[in-house]
Amino acid sequence: MQFTPYSGGRNRNIADLFRNTFTDSEGVEEGNLIHDLARALLETTPPDDLRVYIAEEAGFLCGCVVFTRLRFDDDPRRAFILSPMAVATVHQRKGVGQSLLQNALEDLRKEGVDVIVTYGDPKYYRQVGFHPVTVETVPAPLPLSMPGGWIAQSLTDAPLTRLNGPSVCVPALNRPDVW
Ligand SMILES: CC(C)(COP(=O)(O)OP(=O)(O)OC[C@H]1O[C@@H](n2cnc3c(N)ncnc32)[C@H](O)[C@@H]1OP(=O)(O)O)[C@@H](O)C(=O)NCCC(=O)NCCS
């Protein structure tokens, strides 16, 4: 399995991976929602605000994680939000997701990113260093329907202290139904 930054040319392939994986785990409606979200993120986000990493084997796409900038205008730290992420159903629970994330986080750390935030299952993301945060510590760009899923980590040696909001997400994430 190879883990690499994605540099374009396979947007449709990636959106299909999200559709198929989320359809298997959460049903057709969620599959379509995440497909459309992934497509919009890839197609409308300015390159400077987008980082995508893929896992592939023999040319086949097995996993993908998308990061987009989360801007805090009153804070000098650089933050990205991880959303969405998927590992193809047949490749799940073999460590692909964790390796994909570890490689991506290391790359972002080297680039100088300070904080990564995501909105997901704390039990899964704890394994790669995320821990629950409040919206007082990390202001969310839109109201959270499940505040327990708001998790983050510092990529630097400094502990994660309060980020001065408000925060602004990229346009493709600026829709209440995904929060
Ligand atoms: C969640 C997901 C990305 C994990 O990728 P993966 O390659 O299967 O995960 P890994 O093999 O690296 O890690 C496996 C461990 O993570 C945990 N884990 C895996 N999937 C989990 C899940 N959905 N919820 C909680 N813990 C999970 C388990 O502890 C598992 O270890 P175990 O098999 O020994 O019990 C993948 O299962 C997936 O794409 N699921 C469907 C879409 C999804 O939920 N995406 C995340 C949105 S926030």
Closest ligand 1 atom to residue 25 Cα is 41
Matching residue, tokens 């599959």: 31
Ligand 1 center from residue 128 Cα (angstroms): 12
Instruction: Indicate which residue's Cα is closest to atom 32 of ligand 1.
Output: 93
Instruction: Classify domain 2-178 by CATH number.
Output: 3.40.630.30
Closest ligand 1 atom to residue 96 Cα is 7
Ligand 1 center from residue 164 Cα (angstroms): 32
Closest CA to 174 of 28, 45, 12: 45
pLDDT of residue 55: 98
**Residues framing ligand 1 (Cβ under 6 A):** 21-22, 25, 84-87, 92-98, 120-121, 123-124
d(CA 43, CA 40): 5
pLDDT of residue 44: 97
Ligand 1 center from residue 58 Cα (angstroms): 22
Instruction: Indicate which residue's Cα is closest to atom 46 of ligand 1.
Output: 85
Instruction: Indicate which residue's Cα is closest to atom 3 of ligand 1.
Output: 86
Alpha-carbon distances of 70 from 34, 42, 127, 133, 164, rounded to whole Å = 19, 16, 22, 15, 12
Amino acid at the residue 123: K
pLDDT of residue 47: 96
Q: What is the pTM of this model?
A: 0.95
What is the mean pLDDT, run by run of 10 residues, along the chain of 179 residues? 96 98 98 97 97 96 98 95 98 97 98 97 94 96 95 97 95 95
Closest ligand 1 atom to residue 99 Cα is 12
d(CA 17, CA 89): 9
Instruction: Indicate which residue's Cα is closest to atom 30 of ligand 1.
Output: 93
Instruction: Indicate which residue's Cα is closest to atom 35 of ligand 1.
Output: 93
H/E element holding 67?
strand 60-72
Ligand 1 center from residue 93 Cα (angstroms): 6
In the chain, domain spans:
2-178
pLDDT of residue 165: 83
Count of helix runs (H) and strand runs (E) in the chain: 4, 8
